[in-house]
């Protein structure tokens, strides 16, 4: 059940994250601001989110956020396909961020997710 997830993930550009660090908070990307909430994905949803909305884009980061720190502003809502996605109806305090990892592209132009997300052994 996705609501038991302890971490949710946000894919952002390096530029967006530099601005967030300067402000001490992340107000969302342009699509988040337009929609009125910050879009997140679970670990299982993040690769599809990357391929669907960020295909071929360089300079991206994967931000892991502690769900417990988000409180009731985090809602689990169905997408067009019916899967539940985490949405934050607030600004993201950087204190809720557990880690930030680069999201590089491989030779085929696919995003390479960090081993802790994919379950692959690091090393």
**Per-residue confidence (pLDDT) for residue 90, from 0 to 100:** 98
Reported as a single tens digit per residue, the pLDDT across 44-71 is: 999 999 999 999 999 999 999 999 999 9
Domain ranges of the chain: 2-112
Highest mean pLDDT, choosing among 20-29, 76-85, 108-117: 20-29
Residue 83 to residue 3: CA distance in whole angstroms:
12
> How does residue 21 score in pLDDT terms, banded at 50, 70 and 90?
very high
Cα–Cα distance measured from residue 30 to residue 15, given in angstroms and rounded to the nearest whole number: 13
Q: Is the pLDDT of residue 87 over 50?
A: yes
SS3 84: strand
The whole model's pTM is what? Answer: 0.91
What is the pLDDT, as a whole number, of residue 3?
A: 53
Class of domain 2-112: alpha beta
**DSSP state, 72?**
G
What's the confidence (pLDDT) of residue 123?
A: 45
């Amino acid at each position: 059940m996705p609501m038991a997830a302890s971490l949710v993930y946000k894919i952002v550009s390096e530029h967006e994250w530099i601005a967030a660090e300067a402000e001490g908070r992340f107000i969302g990307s342009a699509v988040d601001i337009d929609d009125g909430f910050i879009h997140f994905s679970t670990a299982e949803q993040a690769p599809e989110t990357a391929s669907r909305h960020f295909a071929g884009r360089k300079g991206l980061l994967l931000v892991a956020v502690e769900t417990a720190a988000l409180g009731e502003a985090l809602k689990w809502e169905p997408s067009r396909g019916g899967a539940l996605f985490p949405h934050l109806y607030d600004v993201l305090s950087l204190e809720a961020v557990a880690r930030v990892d680069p999201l590089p592209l491989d030779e085929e132009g696919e995003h390479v997710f960090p081993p802790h997300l994919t379950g692959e052994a690091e090393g």
